[in-house]
Structure 1
Amino acid sequence: MSRRHAAIDVTFSICVREPYTDEEGNRHHRFGVAVTTRLPAVGTLCPFASEHGAVATQSLVNVELGRKGIDYLADGLAVEDALEALLNADEGRAQRQLHGVDADGTFVFSGDECRDWYGHTAGENYTVAGNLLTGSDVIDATAAAYESEAFGEGPLAARLIDALAAGHEEGGDKRTDLPIQSAALLVETTEDVEDEPTSPDSIDLRVDATETPIDDLRDTYELTLQGWTDAAVKYEGENEE
């Protein structure tokens, strides 16, 4: 099956931007996207992020909407212009959900042929969308969980997992006859992290096949941080010799 138009329905996701100031007083943005669904390997299909923004393509997935969306943001297009242009050229627009953020704006769209329950919401710095959900409470809970921790002390990656967990606990994907699930998250930053390759502000994690996607994504995230710390301690100073 072509990954360009994958004949599967991806369920719900959140895209976020967070402006912040580094230790030297320079302004930056973090961009993050997280998603979960009752199908395997959602991380290969839905979430896209770069130092220019974050995009999620779902419902009847067209992967090119995510890939080209990120490319258009890198070319300098505003997120609303980039994603609307892609949808206007997509014959399957009515079956798509597409949403995202850049440094200045947000965009969210749900086609009128998405499968119930479907819908979306947007805040000042985030978008949430979902389909095949148990109800609108899933979207509301995801958004509320993010808002309650927005710009919090913890890394954005951890707070994105918390937001997914809230939606999942509210009912999430209604297809309970599909036990094999997946989840993924991406975070990128405009800050140069080449000298800190283990920063949670630049992270790409996936849980491709599991019956407990949110718990496993959280475990994967925590083990990743622990693994980075262990390696740094073990090899501290070796690259300086």
Structure 2
Amino acid sequence: MTFSICVHEEYVDADGETHDRFGVAVTTRLPGVGVLCPFASENGAVATQSFTNVELGRKGVEYIDDGLAVEDALEALLNADEGRTQRQLHGVDAEGTFAFSGDDCHGWYGHVEGENYTVAGNLLTGESVVEATAAAYEEGDREEPLAKRLIGALSAGSAEGGDRRTDLEVQSAALVVETTEERAPEPYYDDLRVDASRTPIADLRETYEAAKEGYEAAIRKYHGG
């Protein structure tokens, strides 16, 4: 019912210090995906979907925060989950990636792992959806904010057909970005949700643009930026 992308990037801030950032974005042909699937912290990002078990995402990030490698954390959770054959679970940390698609997910389903990113989906029109999502992320301009590039990746997957259940008009999309860099205030555009819409990715992009504009205005007014 979903396709999503998790990414890890290392970058240098304006002061020349190196940081890690993690992002996850997801869309589906059901409402409220933002409370179910995307999870991130300054140590990793996880997406849980396909007969979603929310605890896999919550605990996955908690385990990563406690120091477990993403592969060990997510595999341990799946091993304890009686419904694992119906799950998709994927994510990244600073050192690696992990992706799993159970044999009882509904087709088309599958995933790809790239350098520091993962993409997975189920109930899609075909494999090209996850391939297009991955390609759009890889080809994105690294000078642009990660949140914007994640929306672009979702848009590319949707353009390839996305979720195949065209009879379901009410859809949703969400993104979360976290970083080891301390920012005051935190950018408003790094945690966004469109809970019920017929055009969720377009609405997520519009929400991002408005949030970014609002953030920049607040910086200028209150922080002298």
Measured against the shorter chain, the TM-score band is over 0.9
Partner of 1:184: 174
Q: Alignment partner of 1:54: what SS?
A: strand
Alpha-carbon spacing, 1:235–1:185, altered in 2? closer, same or farther (3 Å): same
Name the structure 1 match of 2:120. 129
The residue correspondences of 1:2-41 to structure 2 (distance < 5 A) are 10-41=1-32
> Aligned AA for 2:85?
A
Quick check: 2:188–2:215 contact (8 Å CA) kept in 1? no
Per the TM alignment, residue 60 of structure 1 is displaced from its structure 2 partner at its CA by: 0.8
Measured against aligned partners, the alpha-carbon deviations of 1:136-161 in whole angstroms (never above 9, x if no partner) come to 000100001001116x1100000000
Partners of 2:221 and 2:115 in 1: CA distance: 42
Q: Distance in 2 between matches of 1:143 and 1:65?
A: 23
Q: Deviations over 1:21-52 (max 9, x none)?
A: 22333221110000000000000000000001
How many residue pairs match? The answer is 224
> Of 162, 166, 169, which residue of structure 2 is paired with 1:172?
162
- Which residue identity does 2:217 align to in structure 1? D
1:219 is matched with: 206
Matched, 1:89 2:80: yes
- CA shift, 1:199, in A, is 6.5
Question: Taking structure 1 as the reference length, what is the TM-score of the superposition?
Answer: 0.90
**Deviation string, structure 1 residues 86-144 (Cα, Å, up to 9, x no partner):** 00000000000000000000000000000010000010110000000000000100001
- Structure 1 partner of 2:153: 163
Question: Aligned to 1:196, which of 182, 185, 190?
Answer: 185
Alignment identity in percent?
A: 70
- Report the alpha carbon displacement of residue 78 of structure 1 after superposing the two structures with TM: 0.2
Distance 2:71 2:219 in 1: 41
Instruction: Measure, in 2, the Cα distance between the counterparts of 1:231 and 1:94.
Output: 47
Read off the aligned partner of 1:19 and give its amino acid letter.
Answer: E
Structure 2 regions of 5+ residues with no counterpart? none
Computing the radius of gyration from Cα coordinates, the structure with the larger value is 1
